[in-house]
Amino acid sequence: MGQYVAPLRDMQFVLHELLEVEGELKQLPRHAEIDAEIINQLLEEGGKFTSKVLFPLNHSGDREGCHLDRETHQVTTPKGFKEAYRQYVEAGWPALSCDPEHGGQGLPLVVNNAFYEMMNSANQAWTMYPGLSHGAYECLHEHGTPEQQRLYLPKLVSGEWTGTMCLTEAHCGTDLGLLRTKAEPQADGSFKITGAKIFISAGEHDLAENIVHLVLARLPDAPAGTRGISLFLVPKFVPEADGSLGPRNPIFCGALEEKMGIHGNSTCQMNLDGATGWLIGEPNKGLNAMFVMMNAARLGVGMQSLGLTEVAYQNAVVYAKDRIQMRSLSGVKAPDRPADPIIVHPDVRRMLLTARAYAEGARAFCSFVALTIDKELNHPDESVRKDSADLVALLTPVIKAFITDNGWIATSEAMQVYGGHGYIAEWGMEQYVRDARINMIYEGTNTIQSLDLLGRKILMDNGAKLKKFGALVTAFVEENGTDETMNEFVTPLADLGGKVTKLTMEIGMRAFQNQDEVGAAAVPYLRVVGHLVYAYFFARMAKIALAKRDSGDGFYTAKLATARFYFARLLPETAMLIRQARSGAANLLDLEADLF
């Protein structure tokens, strides 16, 4: 079923030439000894594991899906998933970026991020099992008690146990202030948790011996709304003091959701019937603690769609070079064949370059944010940590929404390259489209991400975070503005930066009069900001490629061509988006609801 080859050359370009991670990491005492050779060795081994172990299970896992035994409440994952997880654990991959204090390898997140791109390309459904564990690890690492950390973190780091986050309920969706799950305090300091959760990815499975659920619930005296939500640690098996498994906790999978895609991952309806749990963090401050995991998940979902974009592109290219149909409009290109390969046709090139550009832009963007998180957590200068935290907060909703939107576009274009074979399951392309469409919805719909970006991250602080990213753009423009060879990249970048500033101020002024103006403008606004981010990174990558275009390495020729395609064919979308954002709320709200 197709193929996947880790894009090591482009990953190395982004890490070493674009971001210069070795020099950046030397400023972080914790990672100062990490060099390019170590990073490249890890990427090469990760490429072998993902292409040889995970990718062969992707299509079969989608066709087989997960199975629930309703009597025992046990879920069986697709054939081969459990063995692949065993190999993953034995190779030490779960511990890659975790704290050595708890058994981790202590490597920077930017390296772990590249490995996760490979895993998502090879098998997104499988990758969600260990992926959610990282979020649980981060939450407990930051907010867990010393005893919770001692008991749970080593098991999560080793991969012996996995984690989930149990937020959503059937009646509330994203509006978590409406949740009803209850937590009753017990004399021993624990709580009895009762309620029902839905859409819980990896909520029950047979890969690991224990599952650590992080559950949002209400204490008896909790205030209404989000101010009354607490976070609890609820294990599948209650561990003994030495970490061995104790009694089975009454948190069970009641049903598996029948999804349009990502069939190899068990998305569960979880029922808690007086399950024993322990408070994480402060009472009624559960969302504050859970946001660590939620933000990690949002970054992870962006990475999922980057992975799908890359693997769909790779397979579409192979098909386009092999499939022959008609002749080129400009003359025969393959005289020894009865027809030309379809890659000669301009619109096939457009589809392939769209997917390629969205993959390469996302890779640069995600790697930058991962490196920025490393700075936020480890830089010795407090001001650098603060600026890094602000950039990560600003860009997290953009990663989730913009990359998943683009993943849907790119996988659809890649499927289109196949023509009628694209929607036939045996070719594997329609699976990527189905999976990519889900990524736009879960972990907070892309509309929610857009509202978060415009309303909370930008307007609430009068654009302070946005100005910090804008300063990066301005510095690049000023540095390269007089270079004639860079004009085709710098001029549109500078133009868009000015338009974003003006648009932000205009929406902010309207919002003083009517908050619906924020909701009306948010989605196109986020895409405009996403394009500003991509334009910045493509301009930086083009500068490197221009300097090395005479090196004889075709990689730089291709990089420059992809950057030119992005600026010529994809960036102009912003003109339409800006007009949409400026059109106001009236055209959406004037029609009375009963007339729909």
Catalytic residues: 443
DSSP letters spanning 456-523: IIIGGGTTHHHHHHHHHHHHHHHHHTT-GGGHHHHHHHHHHHHHHHHHHHHHHHHHHH-THHHHHHHH
Which of 36, 43, 37, 42 has the alpha carbon at shortest distance from 6?
43
Dihedral angle, C-alpha 422, 428, 433, 439, nearest 10 °: 180
CA distance 91 to 62: 25
DSSP letters spanning 417-431: HTGGGGGSGGGSHHH
Phi/psi-derived region of residue 127, left when phi > 0, alpha when psi is between -120 and 50, beta in every other case: alpha
CA distance 34 to 27: 11
The burial of 152, by beta-carbon neighbours within 10 Å (0-12 exposed, 13-18 middle, 19 or more buried), is given as buried
- Residues contacting 325, CB < 8 A, separation 6+: 339, 340, 342, 419
Amino acid making up residue 43? L
The per-residue b/e assignment along 551-569, b for 16 or more CB within 10 angstroms, e otherwise, is eeeeebeebbebbbbbbee
Residue position matching structure tokens 């930008």 = 458
The burial of 225, by beta-carbon neighbours within 10 Å (0-12 exposed, 13-18 middle, 19 or more buried), is given as exposed
Q: How far is CA 267 from CA 65, 213, 554, in A?
A: 11, 14, 44
DSSP one-letter code for 222:
P
The burial of 33, by beta-carbon neighbours within 10 Å (0-12 exposed, 13-18 middle, 19 or more buried), is given as exposed
